Amino acid sequence: MKASFAAVILISSLTFTHAEMQKPILLWPEGAPGALGTSSNDIPTLTPYLCESNATGAAMVICPGGGYAHLAPHEGNDYALWLNQHGVTCFVLKYRLGSSGYHHPAMLNDAARAVRWVRAHADDYKIDAHRIGIMGSSAGGHLASTLLTHFDAGDTNSADAVERQSSRPNLGILCYAVISMGEFTHKGSRENLLGKTPDPELVKLLSNELQVTPNTPPCFLWTTFEDKTVPMENTLLFAEALRKNHVPFDLHVYQKGGHGMGLKDKFPFANPHPWAGDCLFWLKAQNFVN
């Protein structure tokens, strides 16, 4: 494993600006639990984005948005390249989608497996197993907030070394996230995740503002006043739940900006939206960046 990893590092250093072309890693080499077929849509993967020379030892699992119907590249690839610039090793998650026939818990299973996989391979990637975060935008933010509130310690009796790892992220970054499945939800995301007529108890369970506990990891949250797709109440309700449970967080509500803007810039990100600088300031306080 270590010899092949050295080869990956060499390749990465030669093609850093094309990191998205790195080979995806199968989360379950023998097939994902509950898979409906064997097409690409049925196979969750992680794509690694390795830092060229400035790695801090921190890592981020990134969940792109897309209403649980598709995955937006600018909320995956672009975030990873941006965080690489600041020393964070990234893994972009391709999770299963409602548009391919999947519903909860397939998406949560994929996200949990991703964090477990990175933690299990921390030594291979020179990652600190106690500095692994999760980041998501829009519906990807819902998936990230679901794992932030529905993690477990792992199965110590499993024959699979990955499954023995905890799925608890050490922090979360939620960008204009869908968080509630209730009054303020994004209806398309809810339907793709839970179906047309979900059980009310499942709606409550996946309304993550109701699932925060004192053990929920610290979070950075941002949204915009002008977001008409995912109301800002999603972010505000989650922040209030964090406050009530004494969980540290940073909250930013920007006046301008619609939904889905990501960094509002392209590589090499000379002028990203101000949330990026605010997030880096927070990540430094969490010992994720220097």
Sign of CA dihedral 77, 83, 207, 118: positive
Q: Express each pLDDT in 226-238 by its tens digit.
A: 999 999 999 999 9
Residue 249, beta-bridge partner list: 219
- Give percent of the chain above pLDDT 70: 93
Structural domains in the chain? 2-285 (3.40.50.1820)
Rounded Cα gap, residues 62 and 184, in angstroms:
24
Q: Express each pLDDT in 140-187 by its tens digit.
A: 999 999 999 999 999 999 999 999 999 999 999 999 999 999 999 999
Distance between alpha carbon 101 and the CA centroid of its chain, in Å?
Answer: 21
The chain-wide mean pLDDT, for the chain, equals 92
Q: Express each pLDDT in 67-114 by its tens digit.
A: 999 999 999 999 999 999 999 999 999 999 999 999 999 999 999 999
- pLDDT confidence tier of residue 8, bands split at 50, 70 and 90: very low
pLDDT (average), residues 44-58: 96
- Predicted TM-score (pTM) of the model is 0.92
Residue among 266, 236, 231 at smallest CA distance from 252: 236
pLDDT (average), residues 248-252: 98
Residue among 107, 263, 117, 104 at smallest CA distance from 176: 263
Rounded Cα gap, residues 148 and 286, in angstroms:
16
Angle made by CA atoms 247, 115, 167, in degrees to the nearest 5: 60
